A and B are shown apart, each in its own frame.
Chain A
Amino acid sequence: DAGVIQSPRHEVTEMGQEVTLRCKPISGHNSLFWYRQTMMRGLELLIYFNNNVPIDDSGMPEDRFSAKMPNASFSTLKIQPSEPRDSAVYFCASSRQIYEQYFGPGTRLTVT
């Protein structure tokens, strides 16, 4: 099994641009999570899906952030428009239900 796959691994963009992060969960996992990690705020849960349905998006910072999961093998996190304070490492994780979450390699986002 390839594990959780994320793309791109690094993204550098200018303020105001749209950013789309992609995630492919582990096959057979029915829960998917998007996290953001910064030195200041640690590891924050942004949103999670169960069976492709968003369950809790209370961690999404503001309307500039949106996430979709059109099928069991793909999810996107979009930031539009991006701002410098969005610079962070974004992790996607998947699991069977909530337990044993496995993280992807992360996307390091830099917004200048």
Chain B
Amino acid sequence: GENVEQHPSTLSVQEGDSAVIKCTYSDSASNYFPWYKQELGKRPQLIIDIRSNVGEKKDQRIAVTLNKTAKHFSLHITETQPEDSAVYFCAASAPTDKLIFGTGTRLQVFP
């Protein structure tokens, strides 16, 4: 079955810097890769997703890139702000199969 690894587990950046979180997956049939943001005590919220027919997707300050050959995908946050501080989860799924989540990255943005 699918296995998703996520790095780093914690990430600290200065406000205004960029942050990059990386995930690898094992199942070459996986074709859907969402990213979730979870603030302390809140629910995971979908912030961006990408399908395997696209190499990159951008939404304002966040972007996701996908390398199908290497089976890895990354979340990029530019111009980080304190409100970006949260735990970020990547996930992957094959068609009509369940999402497999990574173990999460705790991002701290210092003013």
* B-binding residues in A (CB < 8 A): 33, 42-43, 45, 48, 55-56, 91, 97-106
Give the residue of A42, A48, A98, A99 whose beta carbon is less than 8 angstroms from that of B101: A42
- On B, residues with C-beta under 8 Å from A are 32, 34, 36, 42-46, 49, 89, 93, 96-99, 101, 103-104
Given A43-B89, A91-B44; A100-B34 close (CB under 8 Å): yes
Q: Nearest residue in A to B102 (C-beta to C-beta)? A: A42
A-B contact count (CB 8 A): 42
Chain B's nearest CB lies how many Å from the CB of A31? 9
Instruction: Establish whether residues A106 and B43, one from each chain, have CB atoms under 8 Å apart when the complex forms.
Output: yes
Q: How would you classify the secondary structure of chain A's contact residues: helix, strand, loop or mixed?
A: strand
Count chain B CB atoms within 10 A of each CB in A42, A45, A105 and give the residue with the most: A42
B49 close to A99 (CB less than 8 A): yes
Contact A103-B99, Cβ < 8 Å, known A42-B104, A43-B89? no
Contact B98 A56 (CB under 8 A): yes
Task: Find chain B residues with CB under 8 A from A33 CB.
Answer: 98-99
Q: Which residues of A contact B101 (CB under 8 A)?
A: 42-43, 45
Give 26 pairs: A residue, B residue, CB < 8 Å, sorted on A: A33-B98, A42-B101, A42-B103, A43-B44, A43-B101, A45-B98, A45-B99, A48-B98, A55-B98, A56-B98, A91-B44, A98-B32, A98-B93, A98-B97, A98-B99, A99-B32, A99-B34, A99-B49, A100-B46, A100-B49, A101-B99, A102-B46, A103-B36, A103-B43, A104-B43, A105-B42
